[in-house]
Amino acid sequence: MRRLRTWLLIVVGVVVVLFVVALIAVPRVVDTPRIQALIATTVSQSLGRPVKFSDVSIGILPLPSVVLKDLEVAEDPAFGQGAFLRLNEAVIRLRLWPLLFLRVELGDFILKRPMISLVQAPDGRWNFTTLGVHTEPRASGRTRSGGGGGSGVGAAGALGGRVKIEHGVVTYETRARGATAHYRVEDLDLAVTGGPQGSLTFTGNAKVKPGDVTVKISDGSLAMNGARTLADASVRAKISVEGKEIRELLALAMGPEPAIDGGVKGALTVSGTVGHAKATGDVELTNLVVTQTRPACPEPKKRSLALGNVKVNAVWEAPRFMGRPVTGSVAGGSLTTNATVTLEQDIRVDLTELTIKGVAIEKVLVDFLCQGYAVTGPTDDTGTLGVRLADLWHTLNGQGQLRIGPGRVVGSQALALLGNLARVGGAVAAVLGGDLPNLGSSPVEYDSITASYTITNGVVTTRDFVLSGRSLKITAAGSYALASGVLNLDVGVATGRAELKGKVTGTASAPSIRVAPPTALRDVDPAKVEKGLEDLLKRFR
């Protein structure tokens, strides 16, 4: 036991002596001016960008290292004259064992609180895609400058060990889609380790701003595989995302309204290349609430619609985000669709295989949109929709099948078609002596509303609209423009005693109706009927 203790003390003593010798050797082995030139040249050649720093010093404790002050990597001139990366201090560890043999080998490269600027041009190009591209031949002799122990530093010396980013900040500016948006990643901790044949592995975590979304990166790998630039390198990684509030983040992409509150969590797998990466996985948006100012609403003007949790089987491949499927809830019902969001000059949303079941339509039309011509009742809908968000009402396209009811017409107009049809029914009731409900004083109850529809550039067309009730049946065929409210409808109103046909034109807020009197009214002056219709319509404006 005593002999073992003696040997342990000897080993410890030898290690301590070797460590002290290495520390004493550092100032003698490291030629500061030459190591400064060596680092600048080697890193510049590796990145294909000018690299500069104001000063180099040698640190001994806690481990031998080279300290670079005011390090700066130049920007691609095509993106401006600023810096791609800048920081106050970078530390390059020196490998301890080679120092004992009077050789300098660079170890971990630690970047403390760097500022990194990522920029995307209008054509989709990134400023980092030219990293590693050499536009001028380099003199090979300069890579050997280093004196003393310089021969121990090869061309890969600048990345001799790990590259670590501590508490970094990344600003992301996109100039695509005709506008400029700024995002920010804070508290970036990233560790990159060199591997065989120029491959790299990496892990890290960060927070995306605005908002507070945490991103964690694991099992990351980067392989050049003969790629000419960093953008062409193959990349793989696992990314987890979690945040309690995404409102501010979404506002940058979509504008301040409608505001979308809620959280996000998800797990994604990244593949492809650095310049054209693809991410797939599952994302869940939690407790979503959409809020928008509605000038037509009574106080409060700001109205909210709860969407609950939305689950997305996500695929991101620039410039498209796809959800196949997207499932969620709204107003007590369910929603399922395949969604594609394309980020180009403006944002385009395409929904296919859209299925809505059991939605309480009054929660949307009355409580959120404050439509005075709303209806109530459980709503089912199937179909497709496509729209550009910058001009919603003029670019909406799609088709589908709609069913509402049982429910009531609760407003002075109904949803576009229904508003005018209800007016025609009310006019007939006034002339026929009360076969139909008195629309001027109470809601109209119905068993169902059904229709197939086509939407072309914001104009809704139907050929088979039917409202069915106990004593009333209204049919319609024609078009309604969502933006202007312009109507062009052929309508029919059937009761137990008669059937009326007419034409509805004008707008939803000021419709004009022409009728062909039914057989029961053949002796009534048509002008008097039309005058009665116009008087009745004034009650609903």
Per-range mean pLDDT, top range of 37-41, 190-194, 313-317, 484-488: 313-317
The answer to whether the beta carbons of residues 150 and 30 sit under 8 Å apart is no
pLDDT value, residue 315 = 95
For residue 12, pLDDT beyond 80: no
CA distance 138 to 353: 57
pLDDT value, residue 513 = 72
Structure tokens at 408: 């009531």
* Dihedrals phi, psi of 510, to nearest 5 degrees: -145, 70
Share above pLDDT 70 across residues of the chain, in percent, rounded to a whole number: 70
CA distance 303 to 363: 11
pLDDT value, residue 145 = 33
For residue 455, pLDDT beyond 90: yes
Average pLDDT over residues 432-458: 72
Pick from 528, 504, 532, 500: nearest CA to 516: 500
Structure tokens at 227: 């790629």
Parallel, antiparallel or unpaired: strands 200-209 and 213-223: antiparallel
Q: Is the pLDDT higher at 297 or at 153?
A: 297
Structure tokens at 114: 């760097």
The model's confidence at residue 7, banded by pLDDT at 50, 70 and 90, is low
CA distance 513 to 535: 11
The answer to whether the beta carbons of residues 281 and 314 sit under 8 Å apart is yes
503-525 tens-digit pLDDT: 888 887 777 777 765 544 445 55
Q: Quick one: DSSP state of residue 13?
A: H
pLDDT value, residue 390 = 78
Average pLDDT over residues 153-171: 66
| pTM for this predicted structure | 0.71
Pick from 502, 501, 458, 512: nearest CA to 480: 458
HSE (side-chain half, CA atoms, 13 Å) at 351: 20
For residue 86, pLDDT beyond 80: yes
Identify the bridge partners of residue 426 per DSSP, sorted by sequence position.
none
Burial class from Cβ neighbours inside 10 Å (0-12, 13-18, 19+) for residue 535 reads: exposed
376-434 tens-digit pLDDT: 999 999 999 999 877 888 999 999 999 998 998 776 554 334 444 444 444 544 554 44
pLDDT value, residue 58 = 72
CA distance 381 to 402: 5
The model's confidence at residue 202, banded by pLDDT at 50, 70 and 90, is very high
Q: Is the pLDDT higher at 398 or at 49?
A: 398
CA distance 414 to 418: 4
522-532 tens-digit pLDDT: 455 555 555 55
Average pLDDT over residues 61-69: 76
Quick check: helix, strand or coil at residue 57? strand
* Dihedrals phi, psi of 122, to nearest 5 degrees: -55, -30
Share above pLDDT 90 across residues of the chain, in percent, rounded to a whole number: 28
pLDDT value, residue 443 = 65
pLDDT value, residue 272 = 92
pLDDT value, residue 240 = 96
Q: Which residue has the tokens 């396209």?
A: 397
pLDDT value, residue 138 = 43
276-327 tens-digit pLDDT: 889 999 999 999 999 988 887 888 899 999 888 999 999 998 888 999 999 9
Angle at 461 between CA 435 and CA 519, to 5 degrees: 30
For residue 476, pLDDT beyond 70: yes
pLDDT value, residue 214 = 93
Q: How many CB atoms lie within 10 A of CB 2?
A: 6
Q: Is the pLDDT higher at 101 or at 455?
A: 455
pLDDT value, residue 337 = 96
CA distance 467 to 473: 6
Identify the bridge partners of residue 272 per DSSP, sorted by sequence position.
277
Mean pLDDT lowest for which of 10-19, 182-191, 331-340? 10-19
The model's confidence at residue 457, banded by pLDDT at 50, 70 and 90, is very high
pLDDT value, residue 2 = 60
Q: Which three-class secondary structure string do you get for 206-254? A: EEEECCCEEEEEEEEEEECCCCCCHHHCEEEEEEEEEECCCHHHHHHHH
The one-letter amino acid at 27: P
The answer to whether the beta carbons of residues 341 and 315 sit under 8 Å apart is no
